A and B are shown apart, each in its own frame.
Chain A
Amino acid sequence: GENVEQHPSTLSVQEGDSAVIKCTYSDSASNYFPWYKQELGKRPQLIIDIRSNVGEKKDQRIAVTLNKTAKHFSLHITETQPEDSAVYFCAASDPGGTSYGKLTFGQGTILTVHP
C-alpha cells in the first residue's frame, strides 16, 4: 500500500519568513495530493491540493509543487503569519485505483510562526 513520509516534524520560523514542508510517497499510481491544516483540537482543513497533471499550483501565499518522477511534493508558505501556526498534513491518494480515494497521510509538521 501507499506510504507517505513527511519532513520536518517541527518547523519554527519568524513572521514574514517562508516555510517549506516536504513529502515523499511510494505508490507511483497516486495522482492526487492534498494538504490539510489542523489547529489544536479541530478538524483538518483542506488548504490546497494538486493533481498529477500539473507541476505547481498557487493560492495567494500558499503553493504546492509536485515531482512525479521523484515521487515527492512540497508545500510552500510565503510571508508567514502567526495565524499560520498549526499542524500541516500532506496526503496522497490513488482515486482511480482500488483505494477509491482513501487518503494516506504523512505524520504531520508542527509549524510555529514567531511574531
Chain B
Amino acid sequence: DSGVTQTPKHLITATGQRVTLRCSPRSGDLSVYWYQQSLDQGLQFLIQYYNGEERAKGNILERFSAQQFPDLHSELNLSSLELGDSALYFCASSAEGSHDEQFFGPGTRLTVL
C-alpha cells in the first residue's frame, strides 16, 4: 500500500458524459501527478499540482481539467467523454514535487461505452 488513495476504483459511463476522479496523496505530500495508462499509449503524464497550484502540464486534452484543494486532495474532471478515453487513470504523489520519489495510487479504471 503506497498511502495514495483513489476513488472510485471502477467507473463505467457513456459517451458524452462527465466524470470526476478523486485522489488523496500520502500524508505530508504536497505534489500530485495524474497519469493516463492505455494499452496503445503506455503511461502518459497529464498534469501536476503542487500545494494547490498547477505546476506542469503534459498531454492533457482540453476536455480534461484538474484541481488540488486546500486539504491537498486532487480531482481530475473528464468531460464530453469519448470511447478513446477508456483507460486506467493513476495519480501519484511526492513530498516536494521535484526531487522526490513518486508513489502511485491504485488507479481508477474508466470504461466509456
Q: Which residues of A contact B (CB under 8 A)?
A: 32, 34, 36, 41-46, 49, 89, 91, 95-96, 98-108
| Chain B interface extent, by class | 20 to 34
Q: Is the CB of A43 within 8 A of B90?
A: yes
Q: Which of A43, A101, A106, A108 contacts B97 (CB 8 A)?
A: A101
Q: Which residues of B contact A (CB under 8 A)?
A: 2, 31, 33, 35, 42-45, 48, 50, 55-56, 58, 90, 94, 97-107, 109
- Residues on B with C-beta less than 8 A from A46 are 101-104
> B101 to nearest A CB, angstroms?
6
Please give me the residue from chain A that is nearest to B96 by CB atom.
A101
Known: A43-B90, A46-B101. A100 touches B48 (CB 8 A): yes
Q: Which of B56, B99, B100, B101 contacts A102 (CB 8 A)?
A: B56
18 contacts across the A-B interface (CB closer than 8 A): A41-B109, A42-B106, A43-B104, A43-B106, A46-B104, A95-B98, A96-B98, A100-B97, A100-B98, A101-B56, A101-B94, A102-B33, A102-B56, A102-B58, A103-B45, A105-B44, A108-B42, A108-B43
